[in-house]
Amino acid sequence: MSFFSKEKTYRDPIRWQKELRLAPAYLLLLIWIFFTVVLLGWVVLASFSTTKEIFANNLLSSGFHWENYEKAWVNSDVSTIFFNSLFYSLSSVFLLVLVCAPAAYALSRFSFRGNQLMQNAFVASMGVPVVMIVLPLFAMVAGLDILNHVIPNKLTLIFLYVGINVPYTTIFLMGFFANISRAFEEAAAIDGCPPGKCFWQIMLPMAQPGIITVSIFNFINVWNEYFISLIFGNSDQVRSVAVGLYSMINSMKYTGDWAGMFASVIIVFLPTFVLYLFLSERIIAGVTGGGVKG
């Protein structure tokens, strides 16, 4: 399941002739990955160096400078945007499961009027550009005078993150519920379990792999979301990491604190990276698995 795990425990013996034929392929992959590693690695090293060292191109020549992180975390308030985004992501992920899992279950299991229409509408809305919905939403939110109050503003952001991800999450989870045998519900019904209880206690736990995968995606999406956060949450106490990082980068360019800027970049990068480190196989399977057709 983790980044480092092997695909299978059984390994083919090395056939040198075959490997040699694949040499150009390996070379190409290695060049691409080498670049990725250099890109990320250099930024990590730069985040531990001083700005002077970065410009002189001799990173870390005076040892590790943890204070870059300390400064970014405390003085530049990376901690605020970090915890804001953590709050947004976790709440959205939780609410999305709460809203979408029952809907996905009902849509995949029962035939009722409007079922197909709702499915089609959800699929179509995944192609709708966000500019098509942002103006009326802004009018609604600004009309309620939400943008000047911190707590309502934060809740509005969560509402929007949840709303925008409802179609994707529902469609993704539908695939998982469709694959669960009906025998379980029938057995539960015979034992006298009401359908509502049956869903929460039997079906939901059985769809757990799908719920975990879609939650990881939702977490990453909300964590990295930029446009909605920019328009609906652009005040000091409300900013998410993406918007906060952007304004921080702009100010650090003028103060000339490159080391601090790279430290902030790494702090924002870290949570999704750590998730990926442990769950890459699951994430990769999820990209082509449910939801996204293909």
Partner 1 sequence: MKKNSAILFAFVSPAAILFLLVFLYPILRTLCMSFFKIDGVTDAFSKWQFVGLENYQKLLSTTLFRISMGNLFRIWAFGGILVLSLSLLFAVIITSGIRGKSFFRAMIYLPNIVSAVALATMWLQYVYSPKFGLLKSFFTMIHLDKLARIQWLSNDHKFMALLIAYCFGMVGYHMLIFASGIERISGDYFEAATLDGANRLQQFRHITLPLLKGMFHTNITMWSVSSVGFFVWSQLFSTVTADTQTITPMVYMYMQIFGAGNSVTERNAGIGAAVGVCLSLCVVLIFQLCNRLFKDKDLEF
Q: What does the DSSP 8-state code read for residue 51? A: H
Q: Which of residues 250-269 bind partner 1 (CB under 8 A)?
A: 258, 261-262, 265, 268-269
Contact with partner 1 (CB under 8 A) among 119, 195, 206, 282? 195
Q: Which of residues 27-86 bind partner 1 (CB under 8 A)?
A: 28-29, 32-33, 36, 38-40, 42-43, 46, 54-57
**Region of 68-76, 148-156, 174-182, 273-281 interacting with partner 1 (CB under 8 A):** 273-281
Decide if residue 287 touches partner 1 (CB under 8 A). Answer: yes
Number of residues that bind partner 1 (CB under 8 A): 96
Could you tell me the sign of the dihedral formed by the alpha carbons of 199, 203, 207, 208, in that order?
positive
Sites for partner 1 among residues 208-227 (CB under 8 A) = 220, 223-224, 226-227
Write out the two tokens for 238: 């409300």
Residue 64 CB, nearest approach to partner 1 (Å): 19
The region of 1-9, 68-76, 179-187, 206-214 touching partner 1 under the rule CB under 8 A is 1-9
Distance of CA 260 to the CA centre of its chain: 25
Q: What angle do CA 186, 188, 194 make, to 5 degrees?
A: 105
Write the DSSP string, 214-268.
HHHHHHHHHHH--HHHHHH--STTT--HHHHHHHHHHHHHHHT-HHHHHHHHHHH
In angstroms, give the least distance from the CB of 183 to partner 1: 19
Q: Cβ closer to partner 1: 154 or 243? A: 243
For the bound state, the minimum distance from the C-beta of residue 67 to partner 1, rounded and expressed in Å, comes to: 20
Burial environment of residue 192 by CB neighbours within 10 A (0 to 12, 13 to 18, 19 or more) = exposed
CB contact at 8 A, 203 and 180: yes
The answer to the question of residue 293 lying near partner 1 (CB under 8 A) is yes
> In sequence order, what DSSP letters do the residues of 129-168 get, joined into one string?
-THHHHHHHHHHHHHTT-TTSHHHHHHHHHHHHHHHHHHH
Residues between 79 and 138 that touch partner 1 (CB under 8 A): 98-100, 102-103, 105-107, 110, 112, 118, 121-122, 125-138
Give the three-class secondary structure for 274.
Answer: helix
Choices 66-74, 150-158, 176-184, 195-203; region in contact with partner 1 by CB under 8 A: 195-203
The one among 72, 199, 218, 238 contacting partner 1 by CB under 8 A: 199
